[in-house]
A = this chain, B = another copy of it.
Amino acid sequence: MKLYDLKTGTSTRRVRIFLAEKGVKLPTVEVDMLKGENKDPNYLAKNPMGTMPLLELDDGTQLAESVAICRYVEELHPEPPLFGTTPVERALVEMWNRRTELELLIPIMDHFVHSSAFYKERLTQMADVARRGHTRAQDRMHWLDGELAKRPFIAGDRYTIADITAQCALILGKNTGTPIPADSPHLARWFSEVSKRPTARA
């Protein structure tokens, strides 16, 4: 197997933390997005979306999408379980992983992409989208704060892929102007705890 990675990416970080939690090391190729390597025909033949991460299997199968890659790794290396251990738990982890992605990561990303200098030449930035993303993400952080008053981790008593997604979303938010609001102590407690895990810098 070979992992096509992007050191600065958020989706790639999700996979790197997931692999580190599993204790799995994979041969890795860094794709230089600034040089446009992800839009190179050779790479697009592997993943027409031109995104990283991408996991190339030994039979040539190309697996894109971070959650698909994590799910595959979970099947090969079930311990520690990061997708839940019973049908209900697995469904709840899926629910929370999707909520953290749709309600947190995407709005934070919208704000970043539509307001940062980096993307200025790369797409048509829309100030309204940036503003809406920022407002929505902050609103959802308040909501998550209330949830994290009730339990240690996003989906329950155990660290799961939903925590990884939220953690990567909040790292992006912290670095791009959508930080945890000052009046969200439970979310801040959770973020501080997950950031201290040995895998957090993967």
Q: Which residues of A contact B (CB under 8 A)?
A: 48-49, 57, 61, 63-65, 67-69, 71-72, 75-76, 87-88, 90-92, 94-95, 98-99, 103, 124, 126, 128-129, 132, 143
Contacts and interface: CB of A to CB of B under 8 A. Distances in A.
A90 B67 contact: no
Contacts of A129: 126, 128-129
A87 B68 contact: no
A69 B91 contact: yes
Q: Give the number of times this chain occurs in the complex, counting copies.
A: 2
Given A75-B87, A98-B68, A61 B126 contact: no
B65 A88 contact: no
Contact of A61 (B69, B88, B124, B143): B88
A92 B61 CA distance: 9
A69 B64 CA distance: 23
A68 B95 contact: yes
A126 to B, nearest CB: 5
A72 to B, nearest CB: 4
